[in-house]
Structure 1
Amino acid sequence: MRVVSWNIHWGCGRDGRIRIHAIIDVLRKLNPDVICLQEVAANHPELEGSASASQFKQLAGAFGGYHMIEQAPSEIYRNNLPRQFGNLLLSKYRITQAQRHMLPWPVDPEHPAGMPRGMIETVLEAPGGKLRVLTTHLEYYSPMQRRAQIARIRELHEEACARAAVYQPDPALEPPFQLGFRPGTAIYCGDFNFGPDSEDYRALLAPASSGALGLVDAWRVHHGDIPRAPTAGLHGFKWPEKPGCYDYFFVTEDLAGRVSDMSVQSETSASDHQPIVLDLN
């Protein structure tokens, strides 16, 4: 099973031009089973390069054999036309459930501007059994908001593990209640906007509550103490000032033994972030 996560910067490359086909070409070469994207835009001509097309539709059309779940936490209307910005998940595997979580956005007087953040959650029928795949893009400017979002992710994870321990599908219920099994086993990925030596990183990976599956960093599982490859700051983009790691795969501890590779694709300059790839056996 191969999962790719990528903050695509609305397809805007280092030359300031939008080439969504370059994003598509990279993804096709990586040949993932599941694609998790952040900073997907629609009807945003004011963004650098003019992201006026619906990239949600463009990407879904380019991967017709995949099932799509989209989420635009930022949805602003102008002349009744939605300007959307958010996350996209595409899966070759059958999706049995999907939830679109809005993450906390508490008022921060020090950073009054910003945008709402969200997380896509799916339950997939993967070859190794059902698991959840979740993708998100956390706050960058406000540490307070980012900490609240991390706390909510942990809360949602512990809730899912607790529900998995007691829930069994019941076909006798009315259709909206006929949810299938939602396992605790999960892959969390995306642009978390924190470094691997930060307090935020440690907070996300703190020991889980009783009965919940712990989360581990897939890079550390596979590479140990080998220095982490940067996921942004390459190819001469204005941001960040120096190469660093902002993008991650976190997996539940029961998946740690299945991590066969976790890599960063550093060659492409199609975005200010690099695609990251997780392989499970």
Structure 2
Amino acid sequence: MKLVTWNTQWCRGLDGVVDPLRIVDGARAMADFDVLCLQEIAQGFDRMPGAPGDQPAQLQALLPGFRLFFGAAVDEFDADGRRQRFGNLIATRLPVARVQHHPLPWPADGDVSSMPRMCTVVTVRDPLLGPVRVMTTHLEYYSKPQRMAQAKALRALHMEACEQAAAPPKVEEDHSPFQAKLHTPHAILCGDFNLSAAEPEYAAIQEPLGGSRLHDAWLLVHGAVPHAPTFRLFDRTYGPEPMACDFAFVSDGLAPRVHRIEVDLRTQASDHQPVLVEL
């Protein structure tokens, strides 16, 4: 499995141009990906810089042979009654078994700006790895308490799925919503976490629970080599130094299968750099 994860800044490059094709081409330049996880995808926010338009529809047209699943963390209507949606998207050419959209905690923090956050989960069937839960997310930037609550919720989502895999519900072959579901402990959690590897939220995501944990794929491949920067590499609007805040975590069973992880340090198609993970 080859997976690319990228915070696209609604497909807006550092030149100010909104171009979904440039995002797809940039991801394809990294690998012939099986799964593409994108954060900051817009639909209906036409007054944002670059007038992004209906990006899920645009991306679907650019990805023939892929199925797309858009999880809107923000789903609202403006004063004129126009629907506006903003969130994460997973595109895959692998067979899909399940799709889940999980809102993440949004505790009150009145001192800063914030928005709702969520995690989209698509369970795919990989011919070599078997069933894998692909989870993508984008955590809060301005609020540290919210970010910690969201990090803990992601860990809890993974642990709950592992428990379901170990003790699945009673099977009901009645062609109703109670019918058997595909459960798996194998997962990839990726996205823009808006935190560095030195932050406590990073450790919270990987904290073991019930014998299971998530592992930073970068460390599995590169060991003590510092993470390659994924943010503020070219644009220093949000800070003086480049940093890594886009990660991929893998479950216990997938940890030995991580073959490669790398960052494109050249593209300026977004204010973040894309990350490739190969298992």
TM-score where L is the length of structure 2: 0.95
Spell out, residue by residue over 1:185-216, the C-alpha distance to the aligned partner (whole angstroms, 9 max, x if none).
100000001101111111111122x24x2111
1: CA distance, partners of 2:184 / 2:269: 35
Residue 8 of structure 1 corresponds to 8
Residue 142 of structure 2 corresponds to 141
**TM-aligned CA deviation for residue 38 of structure 1:** 0.2
Partner amino acid, structure 2, of 1:245:
A
- Gapped regions of structure 2 (runs ≥ 5): none
Asked whether the equivalents of residues 155 and 204 of structure 2 are also in contact (C-alpha less than 8 Å), the reply is: no
Secondary structure of the residue that 2:157 maps to in structure 1? helix
**TM-aligned CA deviation for residue 77 of structure 1:** 0.8
Question: RMSD in angstroms over aligned alpha carbons?
Answer: 1.4
Residue 23 of structure 1 corresponds to 23
Residue 271 of structure 1 corresponds to 270
Asked whether the equivalents of residues 173 and 180 of structure 2 are also in contact (C-alpha less than 8 Å), the reply is: no
Partner amino acid, structure 2, of 1:18:
V
**TM-aligned CA deviation for residue 237 of structure 1:** 5.2
Asked whether the equivalents of residues 14 and 237 of structure 1 are also in contact (C-alpha less than 8 Å), the reply is: no
Spell out, residue by residue over 1:214-251, the C-alpha distance to the aligned partner (whole angstroms, 9 max, x if none).
11100000000012100011223523432000100000
**TM-aligned CA deviation for residue 19 of structure 1:** 1.9
2: CA distance, partners of 1:67 / 1:179: 22
1: CA distance, partners of 2:276 / 2:9: 17
**TM-aligned CA deviation for residue 81 of structure 1:** 1.9
1:176 equivalent to 2:160? Answer no
Residue 251 of structure 1 corresponds to 250
TM superposition outliers: structure 1 runs of 4+ over 6 Å: none
2: CA distance, partners of 1:49 / 1:172: 49
The percentage of counterpart residues that share the same residue type is: 38
Residue 72 of structure 1 corresponds to 72
1:126 equivalent to 2:126? Answer yes
Q: Which of the pair is proportionally richer in strand?
A: 1
Residue 54 of structure 2 corresponds to 54
Asked whether the equivalents of residues 214 and 250 of structure 2 are also in contact (C-alpha less than 8 Å), the reply is: yes
- Gapped regions of structure 1 (runs ≥ 5): none
Residue 227 of structure 2 corresponds to 228
TM-score where L is the length of structure 1: 0.94
Give the count of matched residue pairs: 276
